[in-house]
Structure 1
């Protein structure tokens, strides 16, 4: 069994990058009955399933009729239904597992047309959530119950893997991630990135005991009244006791407070320093799909002890300028690679979509207030310049960056992260570790030259 490598936070605190053991060996894969003797993941003790120094193996098997019905339901209503699957993780079999599509833009182009390049006949290319305990209470693997099989437009997904490690090193809540051989219903194996799904166990480890809300792609941070039903399809509670009251109260204050009240009292409602760090991090990794992006990607965590909200990162598959090819997950086994010098990624549609959701802006158009920044300044009104893609906005970031003192806090966080994550060489060493793992263990899935090229392109995208 491979030993887990050190997490970036440990590396950063010791100021010396090293990959090796964490002082404890995770043991005891779970049986299909759900009994477990595994050691769960923690900040210093990462279970074997999250050992990113090796390429893991995930395979899923399911009934084709159930799968076809699930795809048909999604195409008709965009509802994502659970189906039942048998899942094998690193040689351990689990029965009666929940399996569901996971994603939004990564599912564009999904079709039942067997002649299409990206079709429902290629489930190994789709983004998935695997939930071991959906139908069997307590069923887990090394203490982990939920896995997200990510979509990425590159063949290696190095951009997201590295970004997640850097997110952890920045002191923000992050998900464990591993590369894996993934197959579905006996398909050929493809290389995929598998990460944790934020839920109760993850929340308690990374953030504490409280409430966790996921912002839905079609929603925003507007106040819609006191009725919790008004927030259906806007926010979805992912962890903690069902209670939208703290979220609704926060959104009301955010939308109704005066500029003076916002400046004076934001610290009574939000972890201000964490949010400044979050914004600075998103800009440094050139992630266009963050809180300001078209997917409204974020979680809000409510700390019941402090009464503060924290904006939590979600979705880094477009980090470092990766183009979103969309459609059926893009396929980490067959994407277009990382674009260079503004070149359009292979497979990226050349025509502009006409069915742009309201409020998402025109593709390629800078969002309102989003002039190109100077001297590293994040533009008022949302995304940093140079991200491209759909424009977006978020009332929290807009108001935050419009305030001189909060803007200064953001600038300070940006300078600190630049020095600690990039100037220090930490990002280069993290990239080298992921690249080495793929080169040693995955060249049968992705050509060695492709791994080297995508690694070099990613390195060139690091800010300096």
Structure 2
């Protein structure tokens, strides 16, 4: 019993309990002395220096994100430590880091940190046949306004025969189904199969200042929805975005082995960190929107926005004030002020391209989606924001006939100007009523004031239409998306643990949707007028 109670204390707390006790005592003393004084976070420097120092950067043997070749990842960790990680997640919902040894393309890296990644995805996770949310055997229940099975509602691609999307339920080889509800049913994630789980690998969690080829973190994606078990949709989306000149994370496919478990084939994606921020520009600050973000004015105290945004780079020299100013202006500006002065706060053409790409790729989980998947890039020279997309595993999953002028949404809402529902909206499964309401903390449905006001304003219709047309030609008009499917599936075929039948099915289904999307947009008045 005593040992059980100890294990419920997070690993890092147990490691550093003496230091934490000292800090707690110090804070208590300050609280007594300064109990009547309000302490606000301040930045003492306005420089562009980054607060995180790199002490070692491992070169490796080959470019980790060379998407033209197969890669290899092997993780080794102690099972008792893994069980402690699961205890913490099961009992407290905390995603703690587990210490593991990593071999990446032949290069051994000891003591990396790995943790479970995802929110809705992990709702389908079971342990010994029981879900964390309800304790019922064989599946997760409703939680936080989500859908059963831990995924988002809906089925496979437009035109895909039911039962053909993704891996069969319970499949051991190839790519995991990822717990998403697809046309072929739901494949649950099991703690007994860590090779199929979504992971975040962090190189400096236990060795301060360490990077791998400049990267601090790498995301191991899980299959499901539009791209099927192989996550083809995300890989294709990232490729066409990069080819169109839009900010996009790098990716590659790799074999993935955990301890002595079977090898699977997985998609890994660059996690936007300081290295990614450097690629965006030398003089800017990157902010990550959290899944609990509201984009509402919460006052001047920056600590009140801890559940909304996380600063990625230039810590100690910059802060959240520019984001707070943007939130306040977007929420308080009159329609006239918004139309006349948006360009003072946001790079309008860049934002028009962002909104256009999300529609073109039918991404219902972008900045206005339930996951609030986006980053804000603040240019310190121009003093303007750009929006950077992230987490594209739910692109190319909805209707091929999504209207170009409407915000892609799930179950309705978020339309242009708050208008009526369009035919391209993602609908929940039969008999399932999608929760309504806005983006409160942990809410399932969402929306975003900046995007909504942009699409509703007649002042920006022309720039949006111009950018949409140009991006259509780059993504669909020249068959770029279709060509990428062919090239990516060839690479997947060389990855240990891949499943040729599953890959072929996913490629066929995604090809069907892209062809239908291309044809629909080619005859749309929005593009032909």
Show the counterpart of 2:217.
146
Q: Distance in 2 between matches of 1:123 and 1:163?
A: 27
Instruction: Tell me: CA distance 1:364–1:400, structure 2 relative to 1, closer, same or farther (3 Å).
Output: closer
CA distance in 2, matches of 1:50, 1:106: 24
Instruction: Give yes or no for the alignment of 1:367 onto 2:406.
Output: no
Partner of 1:410: 464
Shift of 1:36: 3.8
1:166/1:204 Cα in 2 relative to 1: closer, same or farther (>3 Å)? Answer: same
Contact 1:58 1:87 in 2 (8 A): yes
Alignment of 1:53-452 (within 5 A): 53-114=68-129, 116=138, 117-153=188-224, 154-242=228-316, 243-321=319-397, 365-367=411-413, 369=415, 385-388=424-427, 391-439=445-493, 441-442=494-495, 445-452=497-504
**Separation in 2 of the partners of 1:202 and 1:403?**
32
Deviation string for 1:243-277 (max 9, x for gaps)?
Answer: 11111111111111111111111111111111111
SS in 1 for 2:267: strand
Q: CA deviation at 1:380?
A: 5.5
What CA distance in whole angstroms lies between the structure 2 residues aligned with 1:290 and 1:143? Answer: 27
The alignment yields a C-alpha RMSD, in angstroms, of 2.7
Q: What TM-score do you get using the length of structure 1 for normalisation?
A: 0.76
Contiguous gaps of at least 5 residues in structure 1:
1-32, 40-46, 323-338, 342-362, 371-377
Number of matched pairs: 380
Query: TM-score normalised to the size of structure 2?
Result: 0.67
Q: For residues 150 and 158 of structure 1, do their structure 2 counterparts lie closer, same or farther at Cα, with a shift above 3 Å needed?
A: same
Stretches (4+) displaced over 6 A: 381-384
Preserved CA contact (<8 Å) 1:147 1:196? yes
Further displaced range: 429-438 or 159-168: 429-438
CA spacing shift, 1:299–1:368, aligned 2, 3 Å: closer
Counterpart of 1:461 in structure 2 is: 513
Residue 364 of structure 1 and its aligned partner are, at CA, apart by 6.1
Gaps of 5+ in 2: 1-54, 131-137, 139-187, 402-408, 429-433, 435-444, 519-529
Counterpart-to-counterpart distance in 1, 2:420 and 2:484: 32
1:435, distance to aligned residue in structure 2 (A): 1.3
Look at both structures and tell me which one has the larger radius of gyration over its CA atoms.
2
